[in-house]
Structure 1
Amino acid sequence: MQPVYPLLALALLSACSPNASHHDGDHAVATSTPAAVTSVAFNEERFRDDIKALSSDEFEGRAPTTRGEQRTLAYLAKAFEEMGLKGAYQGSFLQPVPMVSYTASKEQQVTLAGLPFKYRQDLVLNSHHDNGGVHIDNAPLVFVGYGINAPEYGWNDYQDVDMKGKIAVILVNDPGFARPDSGKFNGKAMTYYGRWNYKFEEASRQGALGALIIHDTEPASYPWSVIENSWTGPQQELVQSHAEQARRIQVEGWLTLDAATRLFTQAGLSLPHLMARAADSAINVPLEQTASIAFKNKAEYANSHNVVATLPGKQQADEHIIYTAHWDHLGKDDSKTDDPIYNGALDNASGTAGILEIARQLAENAKQGQGLARSVTFIATTGEEQGLLGSRYYAANPIYPIAKTVAVLNLDSTNIYGKTKDFTIVGKGQSELENYLIAAAKQQDRIAVAEKNPASGGFFRSDHFSFAKLGVPAVFAGGGSEPVDAATAAYKTQMQASMKGCYHNVCDEYREDWDLSGALEDMQIYYQVTRTLGNSQDWPGYYSGSEFNRLRPAQSAAPESEFASATK
């Protein structure tokens, strides 16, 4: 894999130099040899009860800074306290995360190229500025292809264009998706350049007034309903400095493909033709049309919280293995009269329940004299759905030094489709940490594989990524695509049909007929990795093909065939 975001890595080299130097002299080579399998019997009924409770209507969809958050925090803190774990933040389980919630008015006056566009039906707009609202008159529109500035790929969609006072119109994903056999970027495997947050960040760096991403279901990997549900209502962000605010674009949002087609047609341009050109080479084209946008915007400040609990190690207590799972979801939408609550049972009450059950087992081991040499810290993060906010905040304000963080294991939407023959590692081929998962999966007679749809950019879309950016080996893994038998395959087909369209929708609710046996096996793999690495001197690192290798390099070579297959 070629570097996907070198500016990020280079910027972090100096900031994280202790992270790399800590291991220069005493870095033990990470191995894939597992310790003997430690007996574990996760309590499925308790696991189910946690999922059911956290995703119940009582928790109101678990949106940050709401009553739903307060109930969630109380539930998680009580659970960790009953296990005997220690509150990691000054003796408390709650790490404050300063947030601001921006709420754009539903009354939005928007004309693009003289055409009116409707809120939610055609576009969704937000502003992350505390200025009362947005009022833009006749700002020039510029199509900037994929909105990418990537010197290592010889690619700059902003070449020779001054974006000051202008609004960028941008394609979703990156050129590799449209031209997978061209050698551009990473083919179908999305790079960070394809992520929406990068595109808004780059538009800000270019001095643009605003940015609109054209939604297209296949390259986005999710339907417009996800945008409509996730990008409306209060939008949380970490509190930023005045300087950071000043550099940020004034308006950011999404256009449906149909709305974008009307816009380009009105400008006398063919969107399909320009999309094809944008996939072949960097491009920017003035639309010779303008945008006028007006809506009120409200900013409200409040702390949200990560829940952080530690099981101290016996000998190497200052070295931490970290578990992450985001407790938050989308909250409530009172405009939906039939069912206003986004319960988020799969995403991510299931992952939060997973770290609770693993923590209980490790805590019980410790009480029986089978504690680990290293410490294990569990972080139930806030604000993941709004852009990995809680994990980003912890990574920037760590309770335990990043240089002493051995690895991160992330649970996000556990397997509800039964046992599988394979075990998926998202973004497989990144780090030596994967060796431990591969070995533990083998003990279950399962084969570790890369995800089936690397175009979705899964490696960049959950909390482990906040730690990967700082060089900490971090994995997001679980489930598989091959059911163990015909009965499980039939169940999976039925359940997938039942759950279709429920991602970031109100139908993501707990179901009694979920087969959680596969989730329990996945948790066993994470548990075994923790037992092995927790009693080890090893410090896994990133392989030479990874953009994070400079921050914490691996001591072994990546299995070439595996790494290559994971990045094509």
Structure 2
Amino acid sequence: MFRKMMGGVAVAAVLLAAGTASAQDVSAQRLSDGIRTISADAFQGRYPGTEGERMTLAWLQAQYEEMGLEPGGPNGQWTQAIELKRYTPVAGAASASWSGPDGVAHPLVPGTDIVIRAVSNDGRAAIAGAPVVFAGHGIYAPERNWDDYGDLDVRGKVVVIVSGEPDGDLFNGAYATNYQSGAYKADEAFRRGAVGVITLWTDGNSWERVAQGGNRQRTLTPGAADLEFAAILNHDAAMAMATAAGLGMDSFGDIASGEFKAREMTGVTLSVAAEETIDTLTTHNLLAKITGTERPNETIIYSAHWDHVGGAAQHPNAPADDQIWNGAWDNASGTVGVVEVARQFAAAPKPERTVVFAHMAAEEMGLLGSYGYAADPVYPLETTVADINIDMLPLSAPTRDLAIFGKGQNDLEDRLEVLAQAEGRYVTDDREPEQGYYYRSDHFPFARAGVPALMPWHGVDLDGGGVAVGQPAYTAKFTADYHKSSDEWSAELDFSSAVENLNLLVQLGSQLANGEDWPMWKPTSEFAVVRARSDAARQ
């Protein structure tokens, strides 16, 4: 919708609105100094729950206090506690069996036929004689005219699905959608009243790896669907159940055609039991804010994760000469970038809407601080205007391109494109569809909850040398340093592109913070239907 109004008058209006905080004072030196501080060995790789966390949060709080910002957490505090529940299967506690129309029970051997995890928050699963349905990919995508469930009622039943999503342009071609994720499928099944989800495993060569994974400790994602259990079932066991129900492979049709609808496995029931011990790790998000002068209940969030992956305590095989994963690029750079954005807002006239600067915990453990925020938001998600997330600032000479994750998702990219064009730049995708980057950083829990979210990335079209020089340079740095102990501060780091991007992100946030409209998901986005459920809150 926004793209249609990008005439000359509209462009001028956007640029004027964005001028409130121009970000011309973004400082490469401050970026370098901040990154050097919080990625030092003394911060121990910023692992959640360690002294490194305490030091990082103390540094952040001191920055915001010096700027004169307000605490942005619950009850006027700087931090939001995030409790991470970690589950470990009790040896020998898992069991499963199925019965067909003849009532004969057929045991499923854990680790051989099935891998079972208790999903419910109490760490226990106890299902007796639940009906079973097959729901294809388990996807409901109204914007794509796709509904695997059809009219089938799955309340109190176990839903069997296949992994992934259909190939082809309908599901974004080379760029995957959220519909391929197990978390989405669990959410959809739970929303429809299912008690458990079973994913069929058809790659027999890797079943042993799957079975081993079923015994490992896992951390529950805050806000995850509260199903009784989740399981992976091998193909042979699944076919035995289908045969008992009188269903051959041809009974299901082509589940990738869009014509398939969920089928009851008539007469087949499943019983499952599982038990897991629980321990809790408490970590913290840190939030600062500038309260809006006109519409304080409408919120723009800048986010970045402060954590990294720790040191020798978390990596027993760490090399003797470098035992700390300092995380200078990932994500001391984004952390300090958000602080620098806040500095620009603090120096400008107060915005009309509230602007929050959120430093998320435990991203490296699975976006868990951001998921925790989305599950228990300090500011209502319905009236959160946008999330602008910074994960790994570009560290290069100036670029013509500004890459983003999830190009084509929402009109934040169109607004950013206008600002970039005014500086002779352009917005592009991340060039790596196989990575699924839009679903891998802290903006995603916001998007999943319906909040329009933007995640800028590293450009490669260098002002001097273009893509031919920039792409191999970026690839070499990423390969050398990403999630390696070599990701350290250096006086040689080039913040030119980072300053360029932060200039634009401040302008974008200023436009939103001093405007009255709401960014929109594009009609083909899987998140548009989620946002639409709360339209009344933004009238």
TM-score between the two structures when normalised by the length of structure 1: 0.67
Corresponding residue number in structure 2 for 1:190: 176
Corresponding residue number in structure 2 for 1:528: 507
Corresponding residue number in structure 1 for 2:355: 376
Corresponding residue number in structure 2 for 1:348: 331
Corresponding residue number in structure 1 for 2:6: none
C-alpha contact (below 8 Å) 2:284/2:369 kept by paired residues? yes
Shift in alpha-carbon separation, 1:322–1:439, aligned structure 2, 3 A? same
What is the percentage of aligned positions where both structures have the same residue? Answer: 29
C-alpha contact (below 8 Å) 1:168/1:211 kept by paired residues? yes
Deviation for aligned residue 1:129: 3.1
Corresponding residue number in structure 2 for 1:10: none
SS at 2:505 equivalent = helix
Deviation for aligned residue 1:92: 2.4
Deviation for aligned residue 1:171: 0.8
C-alpha contact (below 8 Å) 2:420/2:426 kept by paired residues? yes
C-alpha contact (below 8 Å) 1:62/1:72 kept by paired residues? no
Shift in alpha-carbon separation, 1:422–1:75, aligned structure 2, 3 A? same
Instruction: Count the aligned residue pairs.
Output: 492
CA distance in 1, matches of 2:391, 2:211: 19
Tell me the alpha carbon deviations over residues 419-442 of structure 1, each in whole angstroms, 9 at most, x when there is no partner. 432112333344443343113222
Shift in alpha-carbon separation, 1:79–1:187, aligned structure 2, 3 A? same
CA distance in 2, matches of 1:526, 1:133: 45
Shift in alpha-carbon separation, 1:422–1:157, aligned structure 2, 3 A? same
SS at 2:15 equivalent = coil
Say which of 67, 76, 81 aligns to 1:96.
81
Segments of 5+ residues of structure 1 without an aligned counterpart are 2-27, 218-223, 556-568
Question: Structure 1 residue 278 and structure 2 residue 268: aligned?
Answer: no
Question: Structure 1 residue 84 and structure 2 residue 100: aligned?
Answer: no
Deviation for aligned residue 1:297: 1.6
Say which of 165, 177, 185 aligns to 1:199.
185
Residue type of the partner of 1:170? V
Deviation for aligned residue 1:446: 1.4
Corresponding residue number in structure 2 for 1:155: 147
C-alpha contact (below 8 Å) 1:320/1:374 kept by paired residues? yes
Say which of 401, 404, 429 aligns to 1:422.
401
CA distance in 2, matches of 1:227, 1:31: 58
Shift in alpha-carbon separation, 1:118–1:396, aligned structure 2, 3 A? closer
Counterparts of residues 349-368 of structure 1 (less than 5 Å)? 349-363=332-346, 365-366=347-348
C-alpha contact (below 8 Å) 2:461/2:470 kept by paired residues? no
CA distance in 2, matches of 1:140, 1:94: 45
Question: Structure 1 residue 73 and structure 2 residue 57: aligned?
Answer: yes
Say which of 151, 165, 168 aligns to 1:179.
168
Shift in alpha-carbon separation, 1:111–1:446, aligned structure 2, 3 A? farther
Tell me the alpha carbon deviations over residues 292-351 of structure 1, each in whole angstroms, 9 at most, x when there is no partner. 987652224565432111235567666543211233456689685203977655443332
- RMSD of aligned residue pairs (Cα, Å): 5.1
Corresponding residue number in structure 2 for 1:495: 477
- More divergent stretch after superposition (422-431 vs 29-38): 29-38
CA distance in 1, matches of 2:517, 2:419: 18
Corresponding residue number in structure 1 for 2:443: 464
Say which of 274, 298, 305 aligns to 2:284.
305
SS at 1:424 equivalent = strand
Say which of 316, 319, 337 aligns to 1:337.
316
CA distance in 1, matches of 2:41, 2:251: 47
Deviation for aligned residue 1:81: 1.9
Tell me the alpha carbon deviations over residues 463-487 of structure 1, each in whole angstroms, 9 at most, x when there is no partner. 4345456665432223234344255
C-alpha contact (below 8 Å) 1:237/1:386 kept by paired residues? no
Shift in alpha-carbon separation, 1:296–1:331, aligned structure 2, 3 A? farther
CA distance in 2, matches of 1:371, 1:106: 54
- More divergent stretch after superposition (342-351 vs 86-95): 342-351
Greater C-alpha Rg: 2
Segments of 5+ residues of structure 2 without an aligned counterpart are 2-9, 98-105, 244-248
CA distance in 2, matches of 1:209, 1:342: 41
Shift in alpha-carbon separation, 1:78–1:483, aligned structure 2, 3 A? same
Shift in alpha-carbon separation, 1:428–1:115, aligned structure 2, 3 A? same
C-alpha contact (below 8 Å) 1:317/1:374 kept by paired residues? yes
Counterparts of residues 220-299 of structure 1 (less than 5 Å)? 233-238=217-222, 248-252=226-230, 277-280=254-257, 281-282=259-260, 296-299=275-278
Question: Structure 1 residue 62 and structure 2 residue 52: aligned?
Answer: no
Residue type of the partner of 1:434? E
CA distance in 2, matches of 1:289, 1:308: 51
Corresponding residue number in structure 2 for 1:53: 38
- More divergent stretch after superposition (202-211 vs 191-200): 202-211
Corresponding residue number in structure 1 for 2:520: 542
C-alpha contact (below 8 Å) 1:144/1:283 kept by paired residues? yes
C-alpha contact (below 8 Å) 2:158/2:196 kept by paired residues? yes
Shift in alpha-carbon separation, 1:456–1:488, aligned structure 2, 3 A? closer
